[in-house]
Structure 1
Amino acid sequence: MGYIEKRGKNSFRLNVVTGYNDKGKAVMERISVKAKNATEAKKKLVSFEAEVLAGDYTKPNHTRLSDFYHQWLQLHANRNLSERTKNEYVGIIHDRILPRFGHMKMTDIKPIHCVTFITELQEPQTRQNGREDTLSASTIRNNFKALNSLLKTAKELGVIKDNPAENVKLPKVQRKSKTNYNTEVVETLVKAIELESYEKQVMFWVTFVCGCREGELVGLEEKHILEEECAIRFEQSVSQLKDGAFQIKEIKNGVEGVVAIPKGLMDMIKKLKHEKKRAYLQIRDTWWDPQRVFLFSNETGKPYRPDSISQWWARFRKKNNIEGVRFHDLRHFSVTYLIQQNVQPKVISSRVRHKKIGTTMDIYGHHIQEADTVAAEHFDVFFGKENTYK
């Protein structure tokens, strides 16, 4: 049941009774509106009453974005975001979002404000380092993700009814071209890696064969080596926080997976695992974590930092005069090699733990097309001059 109250010139209060408390007093939702007359106010009451009874009404909230930011940090960022992502978002919020939206009430932020924010980020003057060129599309998207995280959380907590950034279109990110798979380069890498320590050799082969990321590589423990299945389970990743502490977290995108490996690589891994286990038994009391034996770790069992792998690789490349191949490119080499061997995209996507096969197609689609073209050439035999099928 609803009714209107006149509050002043062209001002009315809309009242909708939603029930009664234990003392028999009406419980209601109220809003003040502007209307030319009572007839127009009653029309607004009908819409308001329908919204309330359908459960779609959100009470006006006067929280400003600068205040809600602290709630977002405590209730969402600290609990759900990785340390790296949280720090990136916090930096963006302080540098760009609070100066722009901090004074605004959360309920006053509309889609047009989000669109304008994204549009202005594409202007040259938005650069904070003095450069005249515009921000990259990926940087703009990261700024949007930070804003969207705030607004999405506000909606989930009932601070706002709708997320005004939900349908904002962003500039497309031009994917960086991956280092092309080159047989000569791979042969050079394979030959050079034989001169490295045994542990480094295993690092190389696990990454190339399994297409894993640095964090996933150093996150491998002895329990992840499935000897009977001749496979490796990837279910966690290691990262280092700003204070130097290590964080063991779920794999990127939450996609775990078991990857089959050749017997020769399993033999190499078993040998390294045996060495780590022996070191653990010798200094068990001073081992970094008595509950864990990491496959790639220092003498006390502490896993290597992901960035230390890239640093070693940079020295390795320089020593062997190998240009333009990052350690992460071994992941791309792995995928491209399998594509050239005509392995099904679904299998490849599963091995490298992409959340969707579409991701594999988006990144490596041109390689798949090239392999398909080569496959088509095998049918040329049916169309030769002397072919009876012609």
Structure 2
Amino acid sequence: MANVENRGNGSYRLTVILGYDEKGTPIRERKTVKAKNMKEAKKLLTLFEAEILTGEYFKAEDKMTLNNFFPQWLEKHAKDTLSPDTLQNYISILQKRILPKYGHFKLEDIKTIHVVNFINDLKKNGQRLDGKDGKLSASSVLNCYKAFNNVLSCAYRWKLIKENPAIGAKPPNGKAKKSEVYSKEELSQLMQLLDDKPLFWKTLILLAISTGAREGEIAGLEWKHVDFEKGTIRIEQAITEIKGKGVQIKGTKTGKERTVSVPEKLLEMLKKMELTSRQDKWKVRDLWEWPDHFFIFGNEFGKPIRPDSIGQWWRRFTKKNDFKHIRFHDLRHTSATLLINEGVHAKVISERLGHADISTTMNIYGHVLEEADKTAASHFELFFKKMN
């Protein structure tokens, strides 16, 4: 049941009865609107009733600002659904970039144009927060959009807004620059440079190249993950560093576990490392910091290496030896590219890298596969020439 009451001066009160309580008292939902006449007011009443029946109507007291919604998003959604690294990144973006601009907005007042303007402003000069010159990278702009979209998407699912305004804003292209990789000749030079380096770092670098594992996954490897008889390493977890909490264990990036075969030479190096590690653990005994874990690349007290320290060591190493520098993560791309050029099937490479599916591998390394395919065709060309 619904009715309209003329309040005078073009003001009308719309009333919709939702039902009755245990005492028989009507449960009403009211809304005051402006209309030219009763006919227009009744049209507004029909829309009002429809909003209530479809769950799209929000009471004034239910409407909240983005600032007020942020802690609810954080506690009831983000902490349970986002990885530690992504969560930390989104919180930083929201607190430093989004809330200062839009925090005072009511959720329902945030429109698509606001998200569009937000993205557009990020593409301009002067948006870096580290004080350096230049523009934000495309991937950084995309991450900012993703953070904004995540919050608004959550508000939409909880029926606090009628639609997610971020959907209408075209996400920026976050494609990274083409990765650099080492050639076979450069890998040979690298092996020579590593020859006299500590076993710890020599093993870590060779493991990165041969398995294509990510920094966090390497840091998360434990001795229980190594099967010396089968010559394999099980990659099932990673180490991440959370601000204020230190290093913690998490799952792999895609949530997939995988078993990777490794070269015999690397197994020999790992055996030497294990012997030293067990001796260190026996020496410190009760001072062992992670009693339930035994990390391959931990310190003398069992604490796992921080993923970022791996990249830092790598940069110092290449600079000191005047060797071509690529990101440590690009050793992963080097591993994949080398296997592709050696004719290894894309499915096998996808499994070794721990991609969610083979399409990810094809998207990332499609250009390399195309070049390898052309090389394969050239072999047939030589074969056909011999037939003449």
Normalised to the residue count of structure 2, the TM-score between the two structures is: 0.88
Supply the distance in 2 between the matched residues of 1:127 and 1:27 (Cα, whole angstroms).
53
Counterpart of 2:252 in structure 1 is 251
Matched residue SS, 2:173: coil
Supply the distance in 2 between the matched residues of 1:129 and 1:282 (Cα, whole angstroms).
43
Shift of 1:144: 1.7
Counterpart of 2:141 in structure 1 is 140
Counterpart of 1:208 in structure 2 is 209
Q: Which moved more, 1:89-98 or 1:208-217?
A: 89-98
Matched residue SS, 1:139: helix
Supply the distance in 1 between the matched residues of 2:343 and 2:59 (Cα, whole angstroms).
58
Matched residue SS, 1:299: coil
**Contact 1:19-1:27 within 8 A present in 2 as well:** yes
Supply the distance in 1 between the matched residues of 2:131 and 2:291 (Cα, whole angstroms).
50
Matched residue SS, 1:16: strand
Seen in structure 2, the aligned counterparts of structure 1 residues 14 and 348 have a Cα distance that, compared at 3 Å, is: farther
Counterpart of 1:320 in structure 2 is 321
Supply the distance in 1 between the matched residues of 2:230 and 2:359 (Cα, whole angstroms).
28
Deviations 1:151-177 (A, max 9, x none): 223234443232211232123134222
Shift of 1:126: 4.9
Shift of 1:228: 4.9
| 1:7-18 equivalences in 2 (<5 Å) | 7-18=7-18
Q: Which moved more, 1:173-182 or 1:202-211?
A: 173-182
Write the letter of the residue equivalent to 2:212: G
Counterpart of 2:186 in structure 1 is 185
Deviations 1:165-191 (A, max 9, x none): 123212313422211331111001122
Shift of 1:246: 1.6
Supply the distance in 2 between the matched residues of 1:386 and 1:280 (Cα, whole angstroms).
66
Write the letter of the residue equivalent to 2:41: A
Q: Say whether 1:276 aligns with 2:289.
A: no
Supply the distance in 1 between the matched residues of 2:36 and 2:229 (Cα, whole angstroms).
80
Supply the distance in 2 between the matched residues of 1:80 and 1:219 (Cα, whole angstroms).
21
Aligned length: 387
Shift of 1:288: 1.1
Seen in structure 2, the aligned counterparts of structure 1 residues 54 and 77 have a Cα distance that, compared at 3 Å, is: closer
Write the letter of the residue equivalent to 1:333: T
**Contact 2:212-2:331 within 8 A present in 1 as well:** yes
Shift of 1:133: 5.0
| 1:1-390 equivalences in 2 (<5 Å) | 1-60=1-60, 61-124=62-125, 126=127, 133-243=134-244, 245-381=246-382, 383-384=384-385, 386-387=387-388
Supply the distance in 2 between the matched residues of 1:264 and 1:130 (Cα, whole angstroms).
46
**Contact 1:179-1:324 within 8 A present in 2 as well:** no
Q: Which moved more, 1:67-76 or 1:286-295?
A: 67-76
Write the letter of the residue equivalent to 2:42: K
Seen in structure 2, the aligned counterparts of structure 1 residues 75 and 336 have a Cα distance that, compared at 3 Å, is: same
Write the letter of the residue equivalent to 2:141: I
Supply the distance in 1 between the matched residues of 2:282 and 2:200 (Cα, whole angstroms).
19
**Unpaired runs of at least 5, structure 2:** none
Write the letter of the residue equivalent to 1:230: G
Supply the distance in 2 between the matched residues of 1:319 and 1:131 (Cα, whole angstroms).
25
**Contact 2:20-2:27 within 8 A present in 1 as well:** yes
Write the letter of the residue equivalent to 1:11: S
Q: Which moved more, 1:235-244 or 1:169-178?
A: 235-244
Seen in structure 2, the aligned counterparts of structure 1 residues 385 and 239 have a Cα distance that, compared at 3 Å, is: closer
Seen in structure 2, the aligned counterparts of structure 1 residues 347 and 8 have a Cα distance that, compared at 3 Å, is: farther
Seen in structure 2, the aligned counterparts of structure 1 residues 25 and 286 have a Cα distance that, compared at 3 Å, is: same
Write the letter of the residue equivalent to 1:50: A
Supply the distance in 1 between the matched residues of 2:100 and 2:9 (Cα, whole angstroms).
37
Deviations 1:246-269 (A, max 9, x none): 221222233332223234433433
Write the letter of the residue equivalent to 1:18: L
**Contact 1:284-1:290 within 8 A present in 2 as well:** no
Matched residue SS, 2:142: helix
Supply the distance in 2 between the matched residues of 1:325 and 1:354 (Cα, whole angstroms).
22
Write the letter of the residue equivalent to 1:114: V
Supply the distance in 1 between the matched residues of 2:31 and 2:43 (Cα, whole angstroms).
14
Shift of 1:142: 2.4
Seen in structure 2, the aligned counterparts of structure 1 residues 304 and 99 have a Cα distance that, compared at 3 Å, is: closer
Q: Which moved more, 1:98-107 or 1:46-55?
A: 46-55
Seen in structure 2, the aligned counterparts of structure 1 residues 11 and 133 have a Cα distance that, compared at 3 Å, is: farther
Supply the distance in 1 between the matched residues of 2:246 and 2:175 (Cα, whole angstroms).
34
**Contact 1:65-1:106 within 8 A present in 2 as well:** yes
Supply the distance in 2 between the matched residues of 1:47 and 1:174 (Cα, whole angstroms).
44
Shift of 1:370: 0.3
Seen in structure 2, the aligned counterparts of structure 1 residues 83 and 383 have a Cα distance that, compared at 3 Å, is: closer
Q: Which moved more, 1:49-58 or 1:232-241?
A: 49-58
Supply the distance in 1 between the matched residues of 2:132 and 2:327 (Cα, whole angstroms).
27
Supply the distance in 1 between the matched residues of 2:374 and 2:340 (Cα, whole angstroms).
12
Deviations 1:109-147 (A, max 9, x none): 111221122223333465667878543322322222232
Supply the distance in 1 between the matched residues of 2:233 and 2:202 (Cα, whole angstroms).
17
Shift of 1:105: 1.0
